Structure 1
Amino acid sequence: MALVSVANDTLTVEVEGLDRLWAVKSRIEIPLGNVRGATADPGIVREPKGIRAPGTHLPGVIVAGTFHRDGEKVFWDVKNPERAVVIELADAKYTRLVIEVADPRSTVALVEQALRSR
């Protein structure tokens, strides 16, 4: 699972617990200017992931790490699809972040409010 916060025009994703090991990453910081939006999307886990490098993918258990597909680089950290949030990015290291959060609705609202306040 991940924690999302916004401060000083930066969106920060903190990967928690053992997910740090599976995702091979503990923190991602993105300038708000590179964030296009966020949506809750439980169905995204059914999409093809691409080539894992580095990370973990045990179908039906966990998808974590960096995946490359169709020229895009996507960061995943999802065990429970019902809690999946997709954060779309532009001109950043990743094309999007697909992360599991405790409360998808409030995470999407946090990101969208931060974008409106810019």
Structure 2
Amino acid sequence: MAKVRIDNDSLIVEIEGLDKLWALKSRLAIPLLNVRGATADPGVIKEPKGIRAPGAHLPGVIIAGTFHVDGERIFWDVRDPAKAVVIQLRDERYTRLIIQVADPRATVALVEHAIARSTT
């Protein structure tokens, strides 16, 4: 599970619990100018994962870490697809962050509101 917050002009994603171990990350900080949008998407779990490097993928249990597919680098941290949020990025190490959060709708609203506020 991940917690998402806005700190000044950055999107902060904190990876919690043992997921830090599986994902080999504990925190991601992304400038809001590089965040394109966010959506709640439980169906994302069906997408091809590509090549894991580094991370963990135990189908039906966890997808965590960095995955490469079709020239994109994607960060995953999902156990429960019903709580998956996809955050689209530009000009960053990752093209997408696919993370599990406690409240997908609230997280999407938080990200979208922060993006709107940062562009005005």
1:6-85 alignment to 2 at 5 Å?
A: 6-85=6-85
Q: Does 1:115 align with 2:115?
A: yes
Give the superposition deviation at 1:7: 1.4
Runs of 4+ with deviation above 6 angstroms: none
Gaps of 5+ in 2: none
In the TM superposition, residue 8 of structure 1 has moved relative to its aligned partner by 1.0
Structure 2: distance between partners of 1:11 and 1:28: 8
Paired letter, 1:26: S
TM-score (norm 2): 0.98
Cα deviation digits, residues 64-103 of structure 1 (max 9, x gap): 0000011100000000000000000000010000000000
For residues 71 and 4 of structure 1, the distance between their equivalents in structure 2, rounded to whole angstroms, comes to 26
Count of aligned pairs between the two proteins: 118
Q: Measure the CA separation in 2 of the matches of 1:75 and 1:50.
A: 11
Aligned Cα RMSD in Å?
A: 0.4
Structure 1, unaligned stretches of length 5 or more? Answer: none
Residues 28-50 of structure 1: per-residue CA shift (max 9 Å, x gap): 00000000000000000010000
% identity of equivalent residues: 69
